[in-house]
Structure 1
């Protein structure tokens, strides 16, 4: 079981934070986090359901992390293990994560694949997302995986899709010419883009594209 305790600063005041594996007792709060992160018109049926969460904590609990602040969950990060071929980047979120049910988890795989990261809006200025991602890097090292990988939405892409390909947009973000709410965040957590996955998810803002963002295990 993963557990790490430390402090973050909120407007100059230290606040105790715990990152740990989530459990059955956390399910209601995890669904509440989804409702805050994906409010209407996002369909409620696409929030985590208890069958998905049960699979997370029974199939691969090492990949089920949450952040707790003063007894309340502030965010969650979920992953599964897959066997990844770097020469074949094209896949969808639905197929690689089994639509979030992670029955596609491969205990003999070489890659920890991120299913979802969610942080309550009120806690986003505390760096919770970055801290949870760093915790998942610890899991990659402890389990001996080659990498952490996941598809990052590109919510700013639709604004320039008539002028730039997804690849050129991603290159602009990496150069710092453009800020993207998701990709720029992932860059700050240490992730590096390795390419674009087409038709990754039904996402108008990203024009259905995702940037595959990798963190390589430095000990592999």
Structure 2
């Protein structure tokens, strides 16, 4: 199981941080974190429930990570294993994650797929999202998988949808002309765009698009 301790410097102070696998005793706070991270108009039925969280820690505990700062839970990331074929990249979030229940987790899958990542707003400047993503990369290497994959929300797109197509918006975010809260973050974390997916998620801010992005295991050759 995963456990990493490190220190963060923020606002003139050093803080102790821990990335670890989340457990049943964390469920109530994880639900609270989801509500803080994804306020309306994000669909409330897409927030975690106890059955989903139970599946995460029983079906694939290696892919259920959280981060604490000074002993307080501040964020989480969840994944499952899938068999991914690059020549057939189109899918929706509901299809590939079993709507977050991960009952389709494939222990023999070649790809770690990110189901969700969220950092409490009060901790957004601590760079905890990058720490959780790095932990997933390390798990990909440890498990000898081909890649980490996931569809990134595009919550800034609705402000530009009247002037730009979704692809034009993505291109301008990638070039640095525009910044998107999620896509820009994932690019900074080393994720590489794969393809734009229409109707990826019920998400008005993203106009229901998602950008599929990967991080390839540098110790494995993939096509």
Give the alignment's TM-score, normalised by structure 1.
0.96
Question: Match of 1:14?
Answer: 14
> Cα deviations across residues 112-142 of structure 1 (Å, max 9, x unaligned)?
0000001110001000000000000000000
Equivalent runs, 1:154-193 vs 2, <5 Å: 154-193=154-193
Ranges in structure 2 where 5+ consecutive residues have no aligned partner: none
2:100 is paired with a residue of what secondary structure? coil
In structure 1, what is the Cα distance between the partners aligned to 2:62 and 2:148? 13
In structure 1, what is the Cα distance between the partners aligned to 2:9 and 2:68? 14
Ranges in structure 1 where 5+ consecutive residues have no aligned partner: none
In structure 2, what is the Cα distance between the partners aligned to 1:49 and 1:11? 34
Residues paired across the two proteins, number? 220
Question: Match of 1:202?
Answer: 202
Question: Is 1:145 the counterpart of 2:150 in the alignment?
Answer: no
Answer yes or no: is the 8 Å Cα contact 1:137–1:148 preserved in 2: yes
TM-superposed CA distance for 1:40, in Å, is 4.3
> Cα deviations across residues 12-68 of structure 1 (Å, max 9, x unaligned)?
211000000001111111111112112345454432111100000000000000001
In structure 1, what is the Cα distance between the partners aligned to 2:19 and 2:53? 17
In structure 2, what is the Cα distance between the partners aligned to 1:89 and 1:205? 23
Answer yes or no: is the 8 Å Cα contact 1:56–1:102 preserved in 2: yes
Question: Match of 1:53?
Answer: 53
2:99 is paired with a residue of what secondary structure? coil
In structure 1, what is the Cα distance between the partners aligned to 2:161 and 2:42? 23
Answer yes or no: is the 8 Å Cα contact 1:167–1:195 preserved in 2: no
CA RMSD of aligned residues (A): 1.2
Q: 1:41 to 1:159 in 2, by over 3 A?
A: closer
Give the alignment's TM-score, normalised by structure 2.
0.95
Equivalent runs, 1:56-95 vs 2, <5 Å: 56-95=56-95
